[in-house]
């Protein structure tokens, strides 16, 4: 509509648009009809505004009246109505804010407590420049701005003070952000809070005033540029903390966290405590602790934003400011609860008596650092830093020093940058810090380790340049070894986690991820000794705890283990030879004391992943499997394949106990039903007693129940049907879970095939997967998944490369099984998949033979395939498809050399249909072998002239039951003869047929010429057959008269299989009608 109205040739006037909007979009209806009509009016007027058709004052006022009417009728239309009003005002040249006008009533006279106030405020801010001065002064929600106030900012020009538009814009922004005006608009700010969209449009104008000092809306995608904000304190206190954080509205608190994340990169270090106020941090801490809160995830994201900002995108002064605010929050929270007495004040170990002085010294040291770096803004020299660090190390070595104070100290160390990297070799402060960590590696809890590893991450780049250690006071200090030992200790500590506490689990997640990342950095520098420790950690995670913590609430735990496994996979490139040999140990080792192959352990553990209903564990299992799929052993692949034919959860020998459990199933179900419905059993016994007590009647008569007995019987039947329905539902649910589990296993197998297309294990999996398809799977989706895995993945992999790693005997046995299944299976899906797998295994056998030096398929493979194909023609319950036969011979022509003699010898025993298919197949063999094995196929035909002649004669002289089959036979005889002539020409050797067969074929062809009228369309083919027979007769007579020594010379003179130029057959061959 907007594009149509923009066209100057559009004949529709604005008045016509207004009339149609009012007539066809009536607002007299109710409910959805009225809502749709009002939305239609807004869309229509918005199209007029965007098409710049509302430049006139009269039309613009009419449009504003319709828009305001829609906004006043439905409150949810106020925000889009405000957006349309802004477009109308921008495109109109006249004054739309006159007294008694719609905009004057809806915008100018709006009060902060009105429902339309938030949207009216947005429209006022967007149209502030277009407001007349007298109207702006009347507006309740805008500060009174006069151009006279801005005249002092510019020098006089021609005797007059002329303020610029930029000065007026800045003056408006500063006046709007004054404390008195913000306090008056507090109800409006409370109403402009919403979780979706991310921020209301009013807040974008407020952020633009605060950050840039103009009324231009703030761009959320702009790059942060920290700058001082004069009105930040008033804005945060009056517009955010008061309206948004006070009360129980989750939407307002969500918006407050959004505003904090937007403003944090823009503020300078001195103003960070304004954002990290006590009210905001207490709200943040409350929702972080309460996992049932709707804002828990958002609070965690905000907390992570603070930590990432402090660690990466901030200066030293900013880190100190943030850490100081967080310390104040922790002290406040401890002082207001009983946690301070339990966690901070050390009393269980007698610290009040022996360690109080150390604690006071430690607090004094921290205060000295803060005062010197933050308040006085003076840097300490290296000697002072070293002395303080030595004192901290001494205090930390005190066994009675509380872990919570160690945590505070390490958090402080992470927040303060003591020295530049270039000065590291000249000072000992960083090395003292490493000593501090190494001497307490056994006594640090998980939270403290998290901060310690974060601190160590700053040393990776330094140690990459100084691998051999550091020279401190003339002594060599191997800092790299300290870091490496601490990381290995942290990995083992995280792997030993057995507690189910949520806080401890979350801390272990972060520690494990950081430790694996830093250990990977060490490996990149050439330090491979961590690989062994990391390997033991993964094994410990997967086996000892059996993934007992891998449930949905701990999805981060899965990601942490994934990171560790990924780091381990990358480290193999730098692993020493003996370690690589250990990882690639084969299953055939007879050393029973050796631990099971690690990949088998991983496969067993991942089965627990796949049983979870959520997609998060499955995605984590898939990611882990992608890392280790290259090293999957045969036993590990068999474990995966076993899961397709078993129930989930039967990994550790549970299959053996299934038979016993089934025998006891009936008795257990009986006892369960009795326990579940005791009332039903009581009712049933009472009913039986009453029936027994009723007067006896004749056996032939119906039993008559009383009303009370009938009521009890109904209740008994209802309970029985209800329990039966529940059992049926549980059975269906269990079946769906089994199908989902097996589909996920198929997904892992697809990952393996995609990553390892040349694996020698793929041919072994084909036979088992085909067997699984024959089982009653009970799910079409599962059968389609198996078929897709075989046809779409395995059969399209690199078969010859896989076959080069196995023996030809193994390839023959696998091919034999696939061919038998393809020919004997009654299922169409199984037979089709087995045919594709047979072609794949033929390529595997070819690769195995090439690896032994053979150029093509051996006799065993060709005979095996030939026997299966002959079963198809002899009707021995063979379910092969004709397309499979053709495709196999086309891909492997050497099989046709073995197959053609047997096919020629059995032609008389075939039915009409199979006889025609046999001729088609024979033609395919001749065509495929002519290009690659011309001499070989020529020798086969030359050694079997009588069967070949018999086939051609039978095709022409047979009494066909259908005319269509006779036509097809004539066509096939014609094509076979042409192919034989082509073959003898290519080989340059003559082909001969028995003279008797040639004469009979010629007579049969002549009889077809005088046949029914329907054969006239084959007249040319019959004449060609006769001409070909004459050529074969001539060549046969000539070969019989010509001595063996001169046959070659004659063939070279006249050409193979051709008559002499003056003969009758040559004249007929030159006739175009006979071709």
- pLDDT bucket at 152, cuts 50 / 70 / 90: very low
201's tokens: 């449009």
Whether 1041 is covered by a domain: the verdict is yes
| Whether residue 920 is found in the same domain as residue 1060 | yes
- pLDDT bucket at 646, cuts 50 / 70 / 90: low
Long-range contacts of 583-591 (CB under 8 A, 24+ apart): 583/631, 584/631, 586/633, 587/633, 587/634, 587/635
Residue 277 clears pLDDT 80, i.e. is over it:
yes
| Whether residue 879 is found in the same domain as residue 1023 | no
pLDDT tens digits for range 529-560 = 545 445 545 544 443 343 344 434 444 555 55
Of 781, 775, 873, 883, give the one whose Cα is nearest residue 832.
883
Whether 975 is covered by a domain: the verdict is yes
Cα–Cα distance, 165 to 150 (Å, whole number): 10
580's tokens: 């690589």
Cα–Cα distance, 734 to 721 (Å, whole number): 20
Asked if 865 and 900 count as a contact pair (C-beta separation under 8 A), the reply is no
1049's tokens: 């010379």
Query: Reduced to 3 states, what is the DSSP secondary structure of residue 770?
Result: helix
DSSP 472: E
Asked if 637 and 767 count as a contact pair (C-beta separation under 8 A), the reply is no
H-helix segments, 828-881: 828-851, 859-873
| Whether residue 879 is found in the same domain as residue 925 | no
How wide is the angle at C-alpha 764 spanned by C-alphas 763 and 768, nearest 5°?
115
For residues 544, 550, 554, 557, the Cα torsion angle rounded to the nearest 10 degrees is 50
Cα–Cα distance, 907 to 950 (Å, whole number): 8
pLDDT tens digits for range 707-747 = 666 666 777 777 777 777 777 777 777 777 778 888 888 88
| Whether residue 883 is found in the same domain as residue 1006 | no
Say what the pLDDT of residue 956 is: 80
Cα–Cα distance, 1003 to 160 (Å, whole number): 125
Task: Encode burial over 469-505: b for 16+ CB neighbours within 10 A, e otherwise.
Answer: ebebeeeebebbebbbbbbbbbbebbbebeeeeeeeb
Asked if 826 and 879 count as a contact pair (C-beta separation under 8 A), the reply is yes
| Whether residue 933 is found in the same domain as residue 1071 | yes
83's tokens: 């957006």
Say what the pLDDT of residue 161 is: 53
pLDDT tens digits for range 21-54 = 887 887 776 777 888 888 888 888 888 888 877 8
DSSP 1070: H
Asked if 46 and 84 count as a contact pair (C-beta separation under 8 A), the reply is yes
Say what the pLDDT of residue 373 is: 39
| Whether residue 832 is found in the same domain as residue 953 | no
| Tally of CB atoms within 10 A around 317 | 15
Say what the pLDDT of residue 1066 is: 39
pLDDT tens digits for range 1025-1036 = 777 777 777 766
| Whether residue 935 is found in the same domain as residue 1048 | yes
| Whether residue 953 is found in the same domain as residue 1058 | yes
Average pLDDT, the chain: 67
| Tally of CB atoms within 10 A around 154 | 13
739's tokens: 């199908």
Cα–Cα distance, 1068 to 156 (Å, whole number): 117
Give the mean pLDDT of 64-90.
Answer: 85
Give the residue, 239 or 9, on which the prediction is more confident: 239
Cα–Cα distance, 409 to 398 (Å, whole number): 14
Residue 93 clears pLDDT 70, i.e. is over it:
yes
Cα–Cα distance, 821 to 835 (Å, whole number): 9
pLDDT tens digits for range 184-214 = 888 888 777 654 344 467 888 888 888 888 8
Cα–Cα distance, 345 to 352 (Å, whole number): 8
Please state whether 961 falls in left (phi above 0), alpha (psi between -120 and 50) or beta.
Answer: alpha
**What percentage of the chain's residues is helix, strand, coil (to nearest 5)?**
75, 0, 25
Which percentage of the chain shows pLDDT scores above 90? 0
| Whether residue 834 is found in the same domain as residue 922 | no
For residue 868, how far is the Cα from the chain centroid?
Answer: 43
Cβ burial of 860 (10 Å; 0-12, 13-18, 19+) is middle
Residue 1010 clears pLDDT 60, i.e. is over it:
yes
Which percentage of the chain shows pLDDT scores above 70? 55
Whether 226 is covered by a domain: the verdict is no
Give the mean pLDDT of 166-173.
Answer: 76
Cβ burial of 778 (10 Å; 0-12, 13-18, 19+) is exposed
Pairing, β 156-157 against β 470-472: unpaired
Whether 793 is covered by a domain: the verdict is yes
Query: Reduced to 3 states, what is the DSSP secondary structure of residue 470?
Result: strand
Say what the pLDDT of residue 548 is: 41
How wide is the angle at C-alpha 150 spanned by C-alphas 147 and 155, nearest 5°?
120
994's tokens: 């028995």
Of 42, 45, 119, give the one whose Cα is nearest residue 75.
119
Whether 1008 is covered by a domain: the verdict is yes
Q: Which of 516-525, 900-909, 973-982 is the most confident on average?
A: 973-982
Residue 614 clears pLDDT 70, i.e. is over it:
no
Residue 683 clears pLDDT 70, i.e. is over it:
no
Of 282, 292, 357, give the one whose Cα is nearest residue 325.
282
Cα–Cα distance, 388 to 283 (Å, whole number): 35
Q: Which of 126, 142, 158 is the last residue of a domain?
A: 142
User: What's the domain range around 26?
Assistant: 1-142
Whether 136 is covered by a domain: the verdict is yes
Say what the pLDDT of residue 625 is: 73
Cα–Cα distance, 126 to 521 (Å, whole number): 52
pLDDT tens digits for range 424-470 = 334 445 555 555 555 555 555 555 566 566 555 555 545 544 444 44
Residue 904 clears pLDDT 70, i.e. is over it:
yes
Q: Which of 369, 384, 413 is the last residue of a domain?
A: 413
Say what the pLDDT of residue 374 is: 35
Give the mean pLDDT of 953-970.
Answer: 81
In degrees rounded to 5, what are phi and psi of residue 157? -135, 115
Task: Encode burial over 785-821: b for 16+ CB neighbours within 10 A, e otherwise.
Answer: bbbebbbebbbebbbbbbbbebebebbbebbbbbbeb
DSSP 344: I
DSSP 266: G
Give the residue, 814 or 412, on which the prediction is more confident: 814
| Whether residue 926 is found in the same domain as residue 998 | yes
Say what the pLDDT of residue 618 is: 67
Residue 583 clears pLDDT 50, i.e. is over it:
no
Whether 521 is covered by a domain: the verdict is no
Cα–Cα distance, 86 to 986 (Å, whole number): 86
Query: Reduced to 3 states, what is the DSSP secondary structure of residue 584?
Result: coil
Cα–Cα distance, 486 to 478 (Å, whole number): 13
How wide is the angle at C-alpha 269 spanned by C-alphas 267 and 272, nearest 5°?
65
pLDDT tens digits for range 336-376 = 333 333 333 333 222 233 334 555 555 555 545 444 433 33
Say what the pLDDT of residue 15 is: 84
Asked if 734 and 611 count as a contact pair (C-beta separation under 8 A), the reply is no
How wide is the angle at C-alpha 738 spanned by C-alphas 733 and 742, nearest 5°?
150
In whole angstroms, how large is the CA radius of gyration of the chain? Answer: 45
- pLDDT bucket at 756, cuts 50 / 70 / 90: confident
H-helix segments, 425-501: 429-439, 446-456, 460-465, 479-495
Say what the pLDDT of residue 824 is: 78
- pLDDT bucket at 590, cuts 50 / 70 / 90: very low
pLDDT tens digits for range 302-346 = 888 887 777 665 555 666 666 666 655 544 443 333 333 333 333
Q: Which of 450-464, 748-762, 875-889 is the most confident on average?
A: 748-762
- State in Å, rounded, how far the first CA of the chain is from the last one: 69
Q: Which of 142, 160, 192 is the last residue of a domain?
A: 142
Query: Is the alpha carbon torsion for 498, 501, 503, 509 positive or negative?
Result: positive
| Whether residue 828 is found in the same domain as residue 968 | no
Say what the pLDDT of residue 239 is: 85
Say what the pLDDT of residue 340 is: 31
Strand partners, 471: 476
Cα–Cα distance, 449 to 441 (Å, whole number): 8
Whether 315 is covered by a domain: the verdict is no
- pLDDT bucket at 482, cuts 50 / 70 / 90: low
H-helix segments, 51-146: 57-73, 78-91, 102-103, 117-126, 133-138
Q: Which helix (H) or strand (E) holds 336?
A: helix 316-336
Query: Which DSSP string corresponds to 140-171?
Result: SSS----GGGGGGGS-EETTEE---HHHHHHH
Comparing 122-131, 561-570, 745-754, the range with the smallest average pLDDT is: 561-570
How many domains are contained in the chain?
4
Cα–Cα distance, 719 to 810 (Å, whole number): 59
Pairing, β 160-161 against β 156-157: antiparallel
Give the mean pLDDT of 881-910.
Answer: 78
| Whether residue 840 is found in the same domain as residue 927 | no
pLDDT tens digits for range 652-678 = 333 333 334 444 444 444 444 444 444
207's tokens: 């952020």
């Amino acid at each position: 509509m907007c594009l149509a109205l923009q066209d100057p040739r559009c004949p529709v006037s604005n008045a016509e648009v207004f009339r149609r909007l009012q007539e066809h979009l009536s607002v007299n209806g109710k409910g959805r009809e009225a809502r749709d009509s009002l939305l239609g009016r807004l869309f229509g007027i918005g199209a007029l505004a965007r098409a710049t058709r509302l430049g006139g004052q009269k039309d613009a006022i009419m449009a504003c009246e319709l828009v305001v009417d829609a906004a006043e009728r439905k409150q949810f239309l106020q925000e889009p109505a405000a957006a349309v009003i802004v477009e109308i005002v921008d495109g109109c040249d006249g004054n739309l804010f006159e007294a008694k006008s719609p905009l004057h009533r809806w915008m100018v006279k709006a009060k902060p407590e009105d429902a339309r106030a938030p949207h009216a405020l947005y429209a006022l801010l967007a149209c502030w420049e277009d407001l007349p001065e007298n109207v702006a002064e009347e507006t309740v929600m805008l500060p009174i701005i006069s151009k006279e106030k801005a005249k002092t900012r510019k020098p006089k020009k021609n005797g007059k003070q002329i303020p610029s538009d930029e000065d007026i814009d800045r003056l408006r922004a500063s006046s709007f952000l004054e404390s008195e005006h913000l306090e008056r608009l507090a109800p409006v700010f409370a109403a402009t809070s919403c979780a979706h969209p991310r921020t209301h449009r009013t807040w974008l104008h407020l952020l633009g005033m605060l950050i840039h000092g103009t009324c231009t809306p703030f761009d959320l995608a702009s790059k942060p540029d920290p700058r001082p904000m004069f009105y930040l304190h008033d804005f945060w206190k009056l517009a955010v903390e008061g309206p948004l954080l006070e009360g129980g509205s989750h939407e307002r608190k969500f918006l407050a966290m959004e505003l904090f994340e937007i403003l944090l990169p823009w503020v300078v270090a001195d103003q960070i405590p304004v954002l990290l106020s006590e009210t905001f941090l207490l709200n943040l801490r409350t929702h972080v602790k309460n996992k049932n809160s709707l804002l828990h995830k958002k609070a965690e994201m905000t907390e992570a934003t603070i930590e990432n900002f402090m660690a990466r995108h901030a200066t030293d002064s900013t880190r100190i400011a943030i850490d100081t605010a967080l310390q104040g929050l922790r002290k406040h929270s401890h002082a207001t609860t009983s946690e301070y007495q339990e966690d901070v004040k050390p009393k269980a170990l007698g610290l009040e008596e022996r360690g109080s002085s150390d604690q006071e010294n430690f607090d004094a040291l921290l205060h000295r650092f803060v005062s010197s770096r933050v308040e006085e803004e003076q840097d300490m020299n290296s000697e002072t830093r070293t002395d303080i660090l030595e004192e901290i190390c001494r205090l930390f070595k005190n066994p009675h020093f509380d872990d919570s104070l160690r945590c505070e100290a390490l958090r402080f160390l992470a927040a303060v940058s003591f020295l530049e990297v270039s000065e590291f070799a000249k000072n000992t402060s960083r090395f003292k810090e490493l000593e501090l960590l190494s001497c307490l590696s056994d006594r640090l809890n998980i939270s403290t380790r998290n901060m310690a590893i974060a601190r160590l991450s700053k040393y990776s780049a330094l140690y990459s340049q100084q691998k051999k250690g550091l020279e401190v006071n003339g002594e060599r200090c191997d800092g790299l070894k300290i870091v490496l030992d601490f990381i290995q200790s942290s990995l083992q500590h995280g792997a030993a986690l057995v507690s189910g506490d949520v806080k401890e689990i979350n801390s272990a997640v972060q520690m494990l991820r950081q430790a694996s990342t830093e250990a990977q950095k060490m490996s990149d520098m050439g330090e491979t000794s961590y690989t062994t420790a990391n390997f033991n950690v993964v094994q410990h995670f997967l086996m000892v705890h059996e993934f007992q913590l891998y449930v949905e609430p701990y999805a981060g735990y899965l990601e942490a283990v994934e990171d560790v496994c990924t780091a381990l996979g990358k480290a193999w490139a730098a692993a020493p030879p003996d370690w690589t040999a250990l990882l690639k140990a084969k299953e055939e080792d007879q050393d029973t004391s050796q631990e099971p192959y690690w990949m088998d352990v991983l496969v067993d553990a991942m089965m627990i992943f796949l049983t979870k209903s959520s997609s998060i564990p499955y995605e984590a299992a898939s990611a882990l499997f992608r890392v280790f799929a290259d090293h999957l052993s045969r036993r590990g692949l068999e474990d995966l394949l076993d899961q397709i034919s078993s129930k989930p959860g039967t990994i550790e020998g549970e299959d053996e106990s299934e038979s016993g459990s089934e025998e006891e199933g009936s008795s257990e179900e009986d006892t369960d039903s009795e326990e579940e419905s005791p009332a039903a059993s009581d009712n049933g016994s009472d009913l039986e007693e009453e029936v027994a007590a009723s007067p006896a009647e004749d056996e032939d008569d119906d039993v008559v129940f009383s009303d009370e007995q009938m009521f009890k019987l109904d209740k008994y039947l209802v309970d029985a049907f209800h329990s039966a329905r529940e059992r049926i539902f549980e059975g269906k649910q269990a079946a769906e879970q089994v199908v989902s589990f097996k589909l996920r296993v198929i997904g892992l197998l697809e990952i393996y095939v995609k990553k390892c297309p040349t694996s020698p294990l793929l041919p072994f999996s084909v036979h088992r997967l085909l067997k699984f398809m024959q089982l009653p799977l009970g799910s079409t989706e599962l059968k389609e998944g198996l078929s897709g895995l075989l046809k779409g993945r395995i059969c399209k992999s690199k078969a010859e490369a896989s076959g080069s790693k196995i023996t030809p005997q193994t390839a023959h046995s696998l091919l034999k099984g696939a061919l038998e299944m393809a020919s004997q299976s009654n299922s169409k899906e199984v037979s089709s998949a087995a045919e594709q797998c047979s072609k794949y295994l033929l390529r595997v056998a070819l690769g195995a033979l090439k690896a032994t030096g053979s150029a093509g398929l051996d006799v065993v493979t060709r005979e095996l395939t030939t026997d299966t194909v002959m079963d198809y023609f002899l009707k021995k319950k063979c379910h092969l498809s004709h397309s499979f036969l053709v495709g196999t011979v086309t891909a492997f022509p050497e099989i046709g050399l073995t197959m053609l003699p047997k096919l020629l010898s059995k032609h008389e025993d075939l039915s009409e249909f199979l006889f025609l298919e046999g001729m088609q197949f024979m033609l395919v063999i001749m065509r495929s072998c002519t290009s690659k094995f011309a001499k070989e196929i020529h020798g086969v035909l030359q050694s079997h002239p009588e069967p070949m002649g018999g086939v051609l004669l039978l095709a022409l002289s047979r009494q066909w039951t259908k005319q269509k089959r006779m036509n097809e036979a004539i066509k096939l005889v014609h094509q076979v003869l042409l192919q034989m002539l082509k073959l003898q020409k290519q080989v340059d050797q003559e082909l001969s047929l028995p003279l008797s067969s040639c004469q009979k074929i010629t007579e049969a062809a002549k009889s077809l010429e005088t046949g029914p009228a329907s054969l006239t369309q084959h007249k040319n083919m019959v004449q060609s057959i006769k001409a070909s027979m004459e050529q074969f007769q001539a060549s046969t007579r000539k070969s019989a008269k010509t001595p063996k020594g001169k046959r070659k010379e004659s063939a070279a003179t006249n050409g193979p299989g051709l008559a002499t130029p003056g003969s009758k057959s040559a004249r007929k061959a030159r006739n175009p009608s006979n071709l």
